[in-house]
Amino acid sequence: MNFSLLSGAAIFIAALLSLPILVVLVNVVIGDGQVWQHLYQTVLVEYVHNSLLLMVGVGIGVLCIGVPAAWLTSMCNFPGRQFLAWALLLPMAFPAYIIAYTYTGILDFAGPVQTFIRELTGWRYGDYWFFEIRSLGGAMTMLILVLYPYVYLMSRAAFLEQSANSLEVARTLGYSNPQAFRKLALPLARPAIVTGLTLALMETLADYGTVQYFSVNTFTTGILRTFYGFGDVAAASQLAGVLLLFVTVLIVLERYSRHRIQYHNSGIKKASSRRIPLGRWQGVCALLFCLLPILLGFLIPALVLAYWAMFKAEFIADRFLQLAWNSFYLAALAALILVSLALVLSYAGRLYKHKAVHASVGLSGLGYALPGTIIAIGTLVPLAWLDHQIIDLVKHYTGQKIGLLLSGTLFALLFAYTVRFMAVSLGAVQNGLGKIKPSMDMSARTLGMNSWKVLTRIHLPLLKGSILTAILIVFVDVLKELPATLVLRPFNFNTLAVRAFELASDERLVDAAPASLMIVLVSLVPVILLSRSISSDVASSK
């Protein structure tokens, strides 16, 4: 495996994965502007307004839950802290659109909560006020419940790394515990908090299923509506370009927040080695505060889905098994492709320090910052063009008519997944390679091994854990992905996510429960592994 082959492969992979983004950007420029002008005059302001409000609401919500919960579980002693430290991650197993379907079934006019209120009081529709779940506020609430773990996880890691000496100095200066948190611990953790907040806001911008189901017009719903309704790729790309600008601003702000800011932990003792003991009532309040997001974000919707799936849903075993098979083999195939390409990119970056190679590795992970709607359109356009070129070529030389070979097939779907989730796979593999000392490579080469043998005989056995982690995370991400699958799936090909979305859109919320529950149960696996890691950290920091 020489330089030209490996580095060339890395550059080629990066170029392919950058293609959807380039296609969207080119279409932004070449569009004729008629549909765009119509969108500008009618709905663009609404898209911007709703997207901004959604970001602000979700941002405030995840900060108000994630940061205090991280502080309480890492810096304070109260009953149930060790359980809560990992249980607060459980809502990550729920895709936002599934928790939205579940709470709609619970809180809608015909749901059990409002039905109970009417039976108890004798009130009729219009006699009382009740929170409207199908609204912008409802979408905010659903997204907050499943996205706060991003802020919690990053914040808790930062708090655990803070020095106990710093807090002791704060106490000698006369700071109370709340003042020490506000004036010392919070500023020290700011880079980690901003990183978690940025991830949550990017997921908010990328969401399609929740806002579509709640009829909240945002960029993601507008892009697909323009694409299907007007059949105008350029106008859809122009909307995608505006959304891309939002994402870019978020990334720039996150990088700027860490600009020239470095915090060093000079103390040997971690802050968690001297946790703050809470009084009886303070401990009860801390316990209830941390339990509430677990209850609302995981336990209640999980129990409701299980009840619907077991006792209420119309269950056809053959159809469900087909959906599960479609979802699982598609996710498994995507995971294997992604991990294989990530190995090539990561190994090229390890062997060669050339700027072109490192730039290629960086470009390959850009897709994760983009919503699935943008990637789907950017994938479909070039593949459709290539299909038509092949069809014309075959017809010219053979006179035969052939169908589409790339667009509208699993190839297009797998390519979009590769663009969307390469950063996830790449991060896990690079992290594993980074733990292997370069001296091991040098020793192997002195024994006559070439780069290929070093990779297969030394690196791959040591990377088993990282590779399995990457496969598992990508598998679950593909299983939950909705907008890209909706746009690019082959005709008459359904997955669990698509079927749950279709049934919920037809107001068959109970029938959507088996597919939704299966997605949640599979998604629990990486969350449990992450929770075990958190638990080991808790045990080591006691």
pLDDT in tens, 11-33: 888 888 888 888 888 877 776 66
Calpha distance 522→171 (Å, rounded): 46
- For 428-475, the pLDDT digits (tens) are 787 777 777 777 777 777 777 777 777 777 777 877 877 887 888 888
Written as six digits, the tokens of 350 are 């390890």
| Least reliable range by pLDDT among 128-137, 241-250, 532-541 | 532-541
Buried b (16+ CB within 10 A) or exposed e, 237-250: bbbbbbbbebbeeb
Cβ atoms of residues 344 and 16 within 8 Å: no
Query: Tokens 């249980």 label which residue?
Result: 87
∠ CA(181), CA(541), CA(255), 5° rounding? 55
Report, as an integer, the average pLDDT of 510-522. Answer: 90
Percent of the chain with pLDDT over 90: 22
**Structure confidence at residue 268 (pLDDT):** 45
According to the per-residue pLDDT averaged within each range, which of 136-145, 336-345, 369-378, 424-433 is highest?
136-145
| Least reliable range by pLDDT among 12-21, 267-276, 286-295, 419-428 | 267-276
Whether pLDDT at 210 is above 50: yes
Q: If we measure between CA atoms, which residue out of 71, 267, 70 comes closest to residue 163?
A: 267
As beta bridge partners, residue 307 has: none
Whether pLDDT at 261 is above 60: no
SS3 77: strand
Comparison of pLDDT for 262 and 10, the residue scoring more: 10
Comparison of pLDDT for 235 and 298, the residue scoring more: 298
Calpha distance 439→337 (Å, rounded): 29
Q: How many residues are listed for the chain in this entry?
A: 542
Comparison of pLDDT for 498 and 233, the residue scoring more: 498
User: What is the CA 20 to chain-centroid distance, rounded?
Assistant: 19
**Structure confidence at residue 534 (pLDDT):** 59
Torsion of CA 353, 354, 356, 361, to 10 degrees: -10
Written as six digits, the tokens of 31 are 């569009």
Split at pLDDT 50, 70, 90, the class of 176 is low
Comparison of pLDDT for 44 and 291, the residue scoring more: 291
Q: What is the DSSP letter of 278?
A: P
**Structure confidence at residue 50 (pLDDT):** 93
Whether pLDDT at 223 is above 90: no
